[in-house]
Structure 1
């Protein structure tokens, strides 16, 4: 029997361009864009049937881990831009179990990949054992902070 207080988690992002930010995070995490509703081959077909005008078709986007291992990601259009540091951010586990130079080399390789996808490198934090094994701070294409851990 499952615990009635356990809940699934969805991570929501405010965005100027939900589809583009969703595409970045799909590429970053190996996620997939959610499929259109049953009975529709494409999102355009579904949105046509629902009467959604062209200017509203990028109001939201969503993605999921193909194996169901991670939370669903939801991207919603908002009129305002990001103005302050995130109080919550994602740690992308790019070097689990690695230590020292091997860890930092793996993090740098992932950093290069994400920068090529549109992220911005912010800062590298060197290993400081025993509490920190080193990490790299980046910002996604809309400025949301994330860490490569």
Structure 2
């Protein structure tokens, strides 16, 4: 969690205080730009109209969800789940800090194909996605997993 939070904090600080002074679009590759944006909604800017004037409400919801992920991480026996949940919680807390500090999340990674642009995002969103992929992978390819209860022989049959 700490590494995810630190990565997000440092990259956003660099973007806001060095790279995007003045704000502009920087073409890094034919499919990737650095561009400064601020998201007052949830993922991909959804529900902006609801949370525009209530950034602390969204921050509070995110804190509660992050706490749930941390409890889950502490109770999980699988290292992949613990790491994945820690990444999700750390990324979420990075975005919470933005909301509390400036009322919106700083986004700057802009991938595009021709004129179509994927919604801009940040390192917090990246580690959240990696964490979710670890959870999915861990649930699909868990070593030593047992068969579902209905397929295991019963104690009486042994």
TM-score of the aligned structures, taking structure 2 as reference length: 0.23
Query: Which has the higher Rg, Structure 1 or Structure 2?
Result: 2
TM-score of the aligned structures, taking structure 1 as reference length: 0.24
Question: Higher helix proportion, which one?
Answer: 2
